[in-house]
Amino acid sequence: MDICIILTDIIKFFILYVLSNYLVKQHKRRINSMKKAVAVILLFCILYIHGFGVFAKSEVYSGELDYAGSFSGDFAVVGKYEGKFKYGYIDKSGKLVIDMKFDYCEDFSENLAKVGIGEDLSSMKYGYIKTNGSYLIKPQFDIAYAMHKGYALVGLKKGKDYKYGLVSNKGKIVVEPKYDYIDVGDYLLDKGYAITSLNSQYGLVNLKTGKIIEPKYKSIALMSNYIRISSMVDGKEKYGFILFNGKVIEPAFDWIHHFGSIAKVIGMVEIDGKFGLMGADGKYVLEPKYDEIREFNDGITHVKLGDKYGYVDSDGSFLTDIEFEDISAFSKGISYVKKNGKWGLLNIDGTYKAEPIYDSISLVNGQIEAVLNGEKKLLNLDGSSKFDNDYVYMYPFVSIEGASKVMKDGKEVIIDAEGKPIFKKDFDKIWDFVDGVARIELKGKVGYLTIDDKYLVEPIYDSAYKDEATSCYNTKDNELWGLVLTDGTVIKPMSDAPIHFYGDYGIIRVGQKKTYIDKKGKRLTNEVFDDCYPFSDGFGRVTINGKTNYLNTAGKLMNRNFDFGQDFKEGFACVYDSGRYRFIDKNGNFAFGETAKFLSAKSFSNGLAAIYADNGKWGYIDTKGKIVIQPQFEGAFNFDEKLAPVIKSGKIGFIDKTGKFVIQPVYESATEFEN
């Protein structure tokens, strides 16, 4: 609402109020309240007319529209067809804010919109309007693009082609439309430049200063800290610079290698196979006379002249003479250098951390490893020796931080960062610690040492290794195997094969037979068996002459053997006897009576056991021998948790303990549930 209009209406209201007051006085028969009523009515009318009422005259467009575009920001393009389309804009309240007087309209971008005036597309001229509908640039261009980052590409038709220019959001024609094309990509605009093209030559516009370099270059590329240009010189493409300060270095280089991270150096230039460095001020940091210049690292580069190397700072000052036969880039302020065939370490300030006198040298774990005249040395970071001359350095002992393995008098010694021995004894061999334990060898015998310098396994055995499955240590002496349990209990060598413990009992081999021992190494029985299996539910299953029997924890066998048997589970074992599967109790007696004989059966699991009945189907019995799920399945498996997989009509599903399908049999394969 224009403030001038509001003020005018207030004045009108005041005049009308005075006039009404006069008329009321002339007609005294009217009550005094009439005057107030007239004033209120007049005020309402004025406010209604100018937008303070619920609806304002002409503010919400009430006519029909033949075109309505989507809102872009606060405005939408609308159009009316009256022999031809005319377009304008409405705001989000529906008010027609810019009259429908244009032959072409686009959405607002950066508070400016492209509009066109013309009888048809071939005669259309384009310009730009502001949000109040006034022209920023009157329609005069044959082609125009939306404003982007303060600029828009415009063009005039010249014959069959267009010539392009640039306009700004200030209404200024920044570049006259005379070029074949103008590149105004985001990266260029962000840097304040546009690249022009004419007859396959390229020029540059500095949008900040308005300076224009007319197209004359073969190529122009905007880099992070300069603009690279190229021209054909004597039939060869040469490269040059346009600096951001406006200075132009005309193309004269065979190539420019971009250096984007060094403030004082913008690139490495190449002329006739020689290299130099160009500074940000357009002057040489290094003249192009070197055979090699590498990328900067930690603000330092190295150069090569002939067959020697040296280091140069980013301002062109030399840290060292060009005197090294080989060098490396700096890493954490240190580089490797080779001089007169020997290696050393150089600090980034040009001083030596270790003089180049060593056959080889390396920086590992905060210390220096070197070889001098064929002998390994360990040095502190200041280049001094890390330990006594009696020690011969081997390599870092990585399982203890800062430690090293050295050799002294034929023994392996582990020393700390100060060069002092960590363990009381020196060993023939010591391996790295794993989970706080290291394998050791002493006087030809093997053992294990804890990191707190205690023997976990005394070094008295011919051989030893850790059983990863049980975390016990198998030991061997005089061809017999023993065991050191996790609690430190030592079972002396007594077995002809490695001993394996399962719970409280282990299995040893005596000749070609087997038997059981407890955790003290005592045999449960003097008898030996063809085979032994781990204890289950208080019994160890054994094989005697092809038959199965069971040994209890007191070392006593059952009174009879069975043709075959499974482990005890939930108080019973499934055995095969006289052509049938039956269940026995822990006394060795047949359970559930003489009728509980099956074609096949499986061990109990979660209170039920699968049985294969005479009808050729599988069902389940409980621990009282009662059939609780009638034989009806083609296959049956153990209950795990509350469900068991069964086969019905060739498909697998899952039943609960009542025999009801919880998961229908639709699967080709399945496993028992777990967790």
User: 5 to each of 96, 99, 217, how far by Cα in Å?
Assistant: 18, 19, 59
On whether the CB atoms of residues 628 and 648 are closer than 8 A, the answer is no
Tokens of 79: 């159009």
- The reported pLDDT for the residue numbered 672 is 87
Tokens of 161: 């082609």
What's the CA angle centered on 301, arms 295 and 307, to 5 degrees?
A: 100
- The reported pLDDT for the residue numbered 10 is 54
List the one residue out of 98, 73, 74 whose CA is nearest residue 86.
Answer: 98
Residue type, 419: G
Question: What average pLDDT does this structure show over 653-665?
Answer: 96
Query: Which residue did the predictor score with more confidence, 675 or 614?
Result: 614
On whether the CB atoms of residues 504 and 477 are closer than 8 A, the answer is no
Burial of 271 (0-12, 13-18, 19+ CB in 10 A): middle
Question: What average pLDDT does this structure show over 557-577?
Answer: 96
| pLDDT tens per residue across span 59-82 | 577 778 999 999 999 999 999 998
On whether the CB atoms of residues 511 and 542 are closer than 8 A, the answer is no
Sheet holding 651-655: strands in order across? 635-636, 644-648, 651-655, 661-667
Q: What is the largest CA-CA distance in the chain?
A: 142
Question: What average pLDDT does this structure show over 378-387?
Answer: 76
Sheet holding 580-584: strands in order across? 564-565, 573-577, 580-584
SS3 538: coil
User: Where residue 53 falls among pLDDT bands split at 50, 70, 90?
Assistant: very low
Residue 13 pLDDT exceeds 80: no
Distance separating alpha carbons of residues 66 and 29, to the nearest angstrom: 56
Percent of the chain with pLDDT over 70: 91
Mean confidence (pLDDT) of the chain: 89
Tokens of 423: 């363990």
Distance separating alpha carbons of residues 209 and 553, to the nearest angstrom: 99
- The reported pLDDT for the residue numbered 2 is 45
Tokens of 601: 């059966």
Distance separating alpha carbons of residues 267 and 239, to the nearest angstrom: 12
Distance separating alpha carbons of residues 527 and 540, to the nearest angstrom: 13
Question: What average pLDDT does this structure show over 607-629?
Answer: 96
> DSSP secondary-structure letter at 295?
P
Residue partners of 134: CB distance under 8 A and separation at least 6: none
Tokens of 417: 């960062």
Tokens of 202: 């390229």
Instruction: Tell me the backbone φ, ψ of residue 534, rounded to 5 degrees.
Output: -55, 150
Burial of 119 (0-12, 13-18, 19+ CB in 10 A): exposed
Residue partners of 356: CB distance under 8 A and separation at least 6: 324, 337, 338, 339, 340, 342, 343, 344
Tokens of 535: 């204890």
- The reported pLDDT for the residue numbered 295 is 87
In DSSP notation, 321-342 reads -S-BSEE---BTTEEEEEETTE
- The reported pLDDT for the residue numbered 375 is 80
- The reported pLDDT for the residue numbered 71 is 95
On whether the CB atoms of residues 223 and 187 are closer than 8 A, the answer is no
| pLDDT tens per residue across span 98-109 | 999 999 999 999
Percent of the chain with pLDDT over 90: 77
Residue 47 pLDDT exceeds 70: no
Per DSSP, which regions of 423-478 are E strands?
429-430, 437-442, 445-450, 455-461, 463-467, 472-477
| pLDDT tens per residue across span 259-289 | 877 888 999 999 999 999 999 999 999 999 9
- The reported pLDDT for the residue numbered 547 is 97
Distance separating alpha carbons of residues 162 and 284, to the nearest angstrom: 43
Q: Which residues pair with 312 in a beta bridge?
A: 301, 318
Residue 263 CA, distance from chain mean position:
31
Distance separating alpha carbons of residues 507 and 497, to the nearest angstrom: 10
The residue behind tokens 């036969």 is: 325
Distance separating alpha carbons of residues 294 and 60, to the nearest angstrom: 70
Question: What average pLDDT does this structure show over 144-172?
Answer: 96
On whether the CB atoms of residues 325 and 308 are closer than 8 A, the answer is yes
Distance separating alpha carbons of residues 204 and 242, to the nearest angstrom: 9
| pLDDT tens per residue across span 167-188 | 999 999 999 999 999 999 999 9
| pLDDT tens per residue across span 361-374 | 998 777 788 888 88
> Taking the chain, what is the end-to-end CA distance rounded to the nearest angstrom?
73
On whether the CB atoms of residues 658 and 629 are closer than 8 A, the answer is yes
On whether the CB atoms of residues 147 and 109 are closer than 8 A, the answer is yes
